[in-house]
Copies of this chain bind each other. A is one copy, B any other.
Amino acid sequence: MRARNLAVVLGEIRDAGPLTRAALAERTGLTKTTVSKLVSDLLDAGVVAENGAVRDGERGRPGVAVRLSGHRVATLGLEINVDYLAVCVVDLTLSVRLRRTKAAGNRDSRPERILAELRSLAESALMEAEAAGLRVAGAALAVPGPVEHGLLRNAPHLGWRDVRVTDLLDLPLEAAGPEARNFQAGNSEAAGFEAVGFEAVGFEAGNFEADNEANLAALGELWFGSGARDFLYVSGEIGIGAGLVVDGSVFRGTYGLAGELGHVVVAPDGPACRCGGRGCLEVYAGQDALLGEVGSIPELVARLEAGDPAALGACDTAGRALGLALTSAVHLLDPGMVVLGGVFAPLFPWLEGPARETLSARLGQMRRTPPRLAVSAIGADAAILGAAGLVIQRVFADPARALGL
Contact = CB atoms under 8 A, between A and B. Distances in A.
Interface of A: 146, 153-154, 156, 161, 230, 242, 246-247, 251-261, 263-268, 273, 275-278, 324-325, 327-329, 331-336, 361-368
Nearest to A247: B254
A365 B156 contact: yes
Nearest to A371: B254
B273 A364 contact: yes
26 contacts: A146-B366, A246-B253, A246-B254, A253-B333, A253-B335, A254-B334, A254-B335, A254-B336, A255-B334, A256-B334, A257-B366, A258-B332, A259-B334, A260-B332, A261-B332, A263-B331, A264-B328, A264-B331, A264-B332, A265-B362, A275-B364, A275-B365, A276-B363, A277-B362, A329-B332, A333-B333
Given A268-B267, A277-B362, A328-B264, A258 B333 contact: yes
Contacts of A153: 366-368
Which secondary structure dominates where chain A touches chain B? loop
A85 to B, nearest CB: 24
A286 B365 CA distance: 18
Given A252-B334, A256-B334, A334-B253, A327 B261 contact: no
Given A246-B253, A246-B254, A265-B324, A366 B332 contact: no
A255 to B, nearest CB: 6
Given A146-B367, A253-B334, 9 more contacts: A153-B367, A154-B365, A230-B254, A257-B334, A257-B367, A264-B332, A265-B362, A276-B362, A276-B366
Nearest to A335: B254
A327 B277 contact: yes
Nearest to A273: B364
A153 B334 CA distance: 14
Contacts of A365: 154, 156, 161, 275-276
A21 B398 CA distance: 36
A322 to B, nearest CB: 13
- For the complex of A and B, the 7 pairs showing the least CB-CB separation, nearest first, are A276-B364, A253-B334, A260-B331, A258-B334, A257-B334, A254-B336, A264-B328
Given A255-B334, A266-B268, A278 B246 contact: no
